[in-house]
């Protein structure tokens, strides 16, 4: 019995030593980060909108489901514009909301540039900075920087849903649907 107890104590001690030695390595790889999670969400949302923009043929950028609704291209320019407004607000700058008529390649380039700028800004933040109070660009209120950046994400996701309908009305399978396993 004495040998079993000694062996158990030695095994337990070795296990504790291994766990203590491994803890820093595990903590470094599994440490959650709000910034990393927010950037990953941003990247996915941006990719999905750009994929939709690329999926629609250029001649359909003027498509409107009904006369009073914005064209497909105008919806995309709006997403880029509202996202830019948040970016400019975060920089303390005023946005220029005027856009001329744009071709499909111009719209896609605008989206990519705008989303990359937003991603770069988000990626430069720390988790602590996400908790700091900032002025929201619409209305007269103060929110956390985390909530601030939910604004453009909401817009991107909202318009993604709308633009899926534009694709479907033109007989196209949305890229997010096409990527799903059968």
pLDDT-derived band at 10 (thresholds 50, 70, 90) equals: very low
- Cβ of 85: how many Cβ atoms within 10 Å? 20
The average pLDDT across 81-108 equals 89
Do 37 and 103 belong to one domain? yes
Least confident of 29-33, 59-63, 124-128: 29-33
Do 137 and 104 belong to one domain? yes
Distance CA 132, CA 51 (A): 33
Task: Name which residue leads in pLDDT, 27 or 92.
Answer: 92
SS3 state of residue 100: coil
Mean pLDDT of the chain: 86
Do 118 and 76 belong to one domain? yes
Distance CA 37, CA 148 (A): 15
Do 96 and 154 belong to one domain? yes
CATH number at residue 169: 1.20.120.450
Domain count along the chain: 2
Instruction: Find, among 182, 179, 160, the residue nearest to 56 by Cα.
Output: 160
Do 2 and 85 belong to one domain? no
The predicted-structure confidence for 96-152, as pLDDT tens digits, reads as follows 766 778 999 999 999 999 999 999 999 999 999 999 999 998 889 999 999 999 999
Do 102 and 57 belong to one domain? yes
pLDDT at position 32: 84
Query: In the predicted model, is pLDDT for residue 19 greater than 60?
Result: no
Distance CA 144, CA 34 (A): 13
pLDDT at position 181: 81
Instruction: Find, among 151, 87, 76, 75, the residue nearest to 114 by Cα.
Output: 87
Do 27 and 54 belong to one domain? no
pLDDT-derived band at 25 (thresholds 50, 70, 90) equals: low
Do 6 and 51 belong to one domain? no
User: Token match 């291209």: residue?
Assistant: 73
Do 15 and 58 belong to one domain? no
Distance CA 178, CA 159 (A): 18
- Beta-sheet strands, E only, within the chain: 133-135, 142-144
Query: In the predicted model, is pLDDT for residue 55 greater than 60?
Result: yes
pLDDT at position 95: 79
Do 52 and 13 belong to one domain? no
> Looking at the DSSP assignment, which residues form a beta bridge with residue 143?
134
pLDDT at position 29: 61
Query: In the predicted model, is pLDDT for residue 24 greater than 60?
Result: no
Do 15 and 82 belong to one domain? no
Q: Containing domain of residue 3, as a range?
A: 1-31
What is the C-alpha R_g of the chain?
24
Cβ neighbours of residue 122 closer than 8 Å, sequence gap 6 or more:
35, 38, 39, 42, 149
Do 9 and 99 belong to one domain? no
């Amino acid at each position: 019995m004495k040998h079993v107890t000694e062996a158990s104590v030695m095994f337990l001690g070795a296990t504790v030593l291994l766990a203590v030695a491994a803890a820093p390595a595990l903590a470094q790889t599994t440490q959650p980060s709000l910034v990393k999670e927010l950037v990953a969400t941003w990247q996915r949302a941006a990719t999905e909108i750009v994929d939709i923009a690329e999926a629609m043929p250029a001649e359909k950028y003027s498509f409107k489901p009904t006369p009073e609704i914005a064209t497909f291209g105008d919806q995309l320019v709006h997403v880029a514009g509202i996202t830019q407004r948040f970016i400019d607000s975060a920089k303390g700058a005023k946005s220029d909301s005027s856009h001329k008529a744009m071709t499909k390649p111009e719209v896609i380039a605008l989206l990519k540039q705008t989303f990359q700028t937003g991603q770069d800004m988000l990626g430069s933040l720390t988790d602590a900075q996400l908790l700091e109070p900032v002025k929201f660009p619409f209305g007269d209120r103060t929110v956390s920087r985390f909530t601030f950046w939910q604004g453009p994400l909401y817009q991107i996701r909202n318009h993604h849903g709308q633009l899926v309908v534009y694709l479907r009305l033109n007989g196209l399978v949305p890229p997010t649907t096409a990527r799903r396993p059968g």
